[in-house]
Amino acid sequence: MTSAPLVAVTGAEGFIGSHLTEALVATGHRVRAMAQYNSFSSYGWLETLPADVLAEVEIVLGDVRDPGSVRGLLEGAEAAYHLAALIAIPYSYQAPHSYVDTNVTGTLNVLEAVRQLGTPRLVHTSTSETYGTARTVPITEDHPINTQSPYAASKAGGDRLADSYHASFGTPVVTLRPFNTFGPRQSMRAVIPTVIGQVAAGSREITIGDLRPTRDFTYVEDTARAFLAVGTAPLEQVAGLTFNAGTGGEISVGDLVRFIGKVMDADLDVREDERRVRPANSEVMRLVADASRLHAATGWSPAHDLEQGLAKTVAFFRDPGNLARYKTDIYNI
């Protein structure tokens, strides 16, 4: 380990968390990374990072639902990035209590630890799902909150706690609200890896959910850079604020599937699977970001368009070693 500044990351073993960990190390940080405790001593996607990256990462097993775990993670850190969350929307219909425990109580534990330890900065992770179906586009941070799933409601609860701690205690928290991040290491529960994974495994009959919703897809390296942007900008420019991170582009799920087929040079037969369709009033039909506040405060803008991001994601899933980590033939929630 070097004497570089130490930052803490919850949810570091996950999709975005592992990319953020890489980006932090690349910009000269040491990382204390929390992976959720498990009896297999698995560190998730952190295990795939290069040795020179892991040399700057201290991996600890813990749980954001446990205050002691969180306090231990944050001790001595100059900043904390809170990404740990339950994120699969379909599973939130089945297990809503666990979403509140992780996404609300877990966030409360992080906020309390930051407050007690005097951690200089906390970057809290929100989600575009808290907006619900767009009432006006593009969606600014002033758009009404309309939570259409238990997952979205639990994330909005964490957001409100973060806002309240800044107002009540001056907690130095900034909230980043990413729009539909995609890329290597993403779970098969998401639409892009679901389609790419099925095609990479040899299928040309693609099963998917509702083809009508539109989304603003942001490549994961750009999302990681957005976290860095709000995590390193002068605190007075970002503290207490929420920032959208998205491209401002919009594509329907149906057009996205056809575009993936073009990128992968595959003629696809797309079929809707009722199991993958959300309840009618729970489906968010349109999301497209206005990220001008983030750009004005930090200079951030996405470096990848959709085609460039898809090309990198396809290359990842076409690697047999990576594809073997997934079960492409089952519906993942």
Q: Minimal CA–CA distance to 82: which of 171, 146, 144, 170?
A: 171
The answer to whether the peptide bond before residue 138 is cis (omega within 30 degrees of 0) is yes
Residue 283 lies in a domain: no
pLDDT digits (tens, 9 = 90+) for 159-175: 999 999 999 999 999 99
Residue 251 lies in a domain: no
Residue 164 lies in a domain: yes
- Other Cβ atoms less than 10 A from the Cβ of 76: the count is 10
User: Domain containing 237 — which CATH number?
Assistant: 3.40.50.720
CA distance 195 to 261: 9
CA distance 36 to 53: 20
Is 151 labeled as catalytic in the residue annotation?
yes
Instruction: Locate 69 and state its tokens.
Output: 């775990």
Given 43, 81, 131, 151, which residue is catalytic? 151
Write out the chain's pLDDT in tens, 333 residues: 457 899 999 999 999 999 999 999 999 999 999 999 999 999 999 999 999 999 999 999 999 999 999 999 999 999 999 999 999 999 999 999 999 999 999 999 999 999 999 999 999 999 999 999 999 999 999 999 999 999 999 999 999 999 999 999 999 999 999 999 999 999 998 999 999 999 999 999 888 888 899 999 999 999 999 999 999 999 999 999 999 999 999 999 999 999 999 999 999 988 877 777 788 888 999 999 999 999 999 999 999 999 999 999 999 999 999 999 999 888 777
Task: Give me the domain span that covers residue 178.
Answer: 6-183+219-245
Residue 203 lies in a domain: no
Residue 27 lies in a domain: yes
Residue 13 lies in a domain: yes
Residue 127 lies in a domain: yes
Tally of structural domains, the chain: 1
Residue 287 lies in a domain: no
pLDDT digits (tens, 9 = 90+) for 62-79: 999 999 999 999 999 999
